[in-house]
Structure 1
């Protein structure tokens, strides 16, 4: 039972990080209707900015997280204005190619600034708690609490505020939203900023138990795409549920099968679920 609970905690940790990244990805998809491959670079940039703020400027963990969130939000808005907005009337393939270009540009920039080496981010939450024989690292508990708190805040923002309602309206019908007076450019910038904040926070939370390096966003963004397809393209609940499914599948699969197959499990699970439900778990989009 203790081992099962331990894997349950690991699954919540992975699921929380995956869900945050997938939420930002699915929100942008709701506006652009194309996969944003550059989102993995935003995740990587958030980790490096937080790492530099802590290492070079000596800021504490939470201030570094806030600084990384602000920096990546600005970076995401700039990507929207300079890259995606000029292509708004172009075919979706152009957006995808542009997103890959942004990804490669940011990764090359990170390698030029910080080098290609692996870095370890420090955290003040390096202790371990024990409860009933269950070993709970403080950083993993922090990831679970912070990730789900952020998900709840995002849900309340989308459901209870006028600004959130404009984002949902744009995701459901861009032309109809524009006809009733919603500024699509403002909503697009806001959505990119939110996606940048989610990516940066997820990276800052996860980096202390992982490593920081220029290509760190590759596997995470690949799994985020699996999650949003699994949960339903453009579905916010689907991104959360899909992230948890992948997180638990990896944690328990890696424990009972082998850690060598941990990263394959997500893709195998995608094939199985989509063969049963091709439209994903939630097919109604951003609601």
Structure 2
């Protein structure tokens, strides 16, 4: 039982990171119907900004996280304005090609500036805590709680503010949102900023237990796409639940089956769920998003 509980906690840790990355991805898809393949690069840049803020500027961990949120959020807005906005009337394939181009460009730029070596982020939360036979570091507890707090704040923003309501309205009915005067450009920019901020938070809290390197976003973004397909394309609840389902499933599978196949589990789970529910767990029939 202790082993099971330990792996569930580990799964919640991994799932928290997956959910944050998938949330940013699904927000952009829900508003603009763009599968932003460059989102993994935003995650990677978030890790580097956190690391460099602490090592070069000497700022504390949480200040470095805040800097990463601002930098990556602005970078995501620039991506929307300079890359995706000019392509808004182009065939859908152009968005996908452009996103892949941005991904490759950012990875090459980071590797040119800081090299390809693996780096580690230090954290003030290194103490190991034992509860009910479960051993967990403070950093892993921080990951879970930080992710939950960010998700709650995001939901409150979307439900309780005028700007958040505009984002929800556009995700549910673009034409109707335009008719009632929603500023599409403003909503798109803000959505990309939030998407980048979520990627930065995920990278900042995950980097101390992982490593920072130019390709760190590859596997994370692949799994984020699996999550938003499982949860339902454009569904915010689906991104959250799907992330935790995948994280816990991977953790349990690595322990009770084999760690060799832990990454394969994501795609087996995808096939299984889509066989049972092709539209995803939370998608409404005929709707692009379910916020």
* Same topology, TM > 0.5: yes
Map 1:56-205 onto structure 2 (within 5 A).
Answer: 56-205=56-205
Distance in structure 2 (CA, Å) of the matches to 1:185 and 1:242: 29
Residue 286 (structure 1) aligned to one of 275, 287, 290: 290
Q: How far has the Cα of 1:132 moved from its partner?
A: 2.8
Normalising by structure 2, report the TM-score: 0.97
Three-state SS of the structure 2 residue aligned to 1:135 is strand
Distance in structure 1 (CA, Å) of the matches to 2:175 and 2:47: 36
Three-state SS of the structure 1 residue aligned to 2:130 is strand
Cα deviation, 1:103-151, whole Å, max 9, x if unaligned, reads 0110011101110000011110111011232211111000000001111
The answer for the alignment partner of 1:3 in structure 2 is 3
Distance in structure 2 (CA, Å) of the matches to 1:31 and 1:145: 27
Distance in structure 2 (CA, Å) of the matches to 1:273 and 1:281: 8
The answer for the alignment partner of 1:13 in structure 2 is 13
Distance in structure 1 (CA, Å) of the matches to 2:35 and 2:290: 15
Q: How far has the Cα of 1:253 moved from its partner?
A: 0.3
The answer for the alignment partner of 1:55 in structure 2 is 55
Cα deviation, 1:245-274, whole Å, max 9, x if unaligned, reads 100100100010111110000100000110
Q: How far has the Cα of 1:176 moved from its partner?
A: 1.8
Distance in structure 2 (CA, Å) of the matches to 1:263 and 1:198: 23
Q: How far has the Cα of 1:179 moved from its partner?
A: 1.5
Provide the alpha-carbon RMSD of the alignment: 0.7
Three-state SS of the structure 1 residue aligned to 2:136 is strand
Does 2:255 correspond to 1:274? no
Three-state SS of the structure 2 residue aligned to 1:129 is strand
Cα deviation, 1:67-94, whole Å, max 9, x if unaligned, reads 0000000000000000000011111111
Asked if the contact 2:75–2:196 (Cα under 8 Å) also holds between the matched residues in 1, the reply is: yes
Map 1:224-263 onto structure 2 (within 5 A).
Answer: 224-263=224-263
Normalising by structure 1, report the TM-score: 0.99
Runs of 4+ in structure 1 off by over 3 angstroms are none
Three-state SS of the structure 2 residue aligned to 1:24 is helix
Distance in structure 2 (CA, Å) of the matches to 1:132 and 1:280: 36
* Aligned positions, number: 287
Any stretches of 5+ residues in structure 1 without a counterpart?
none
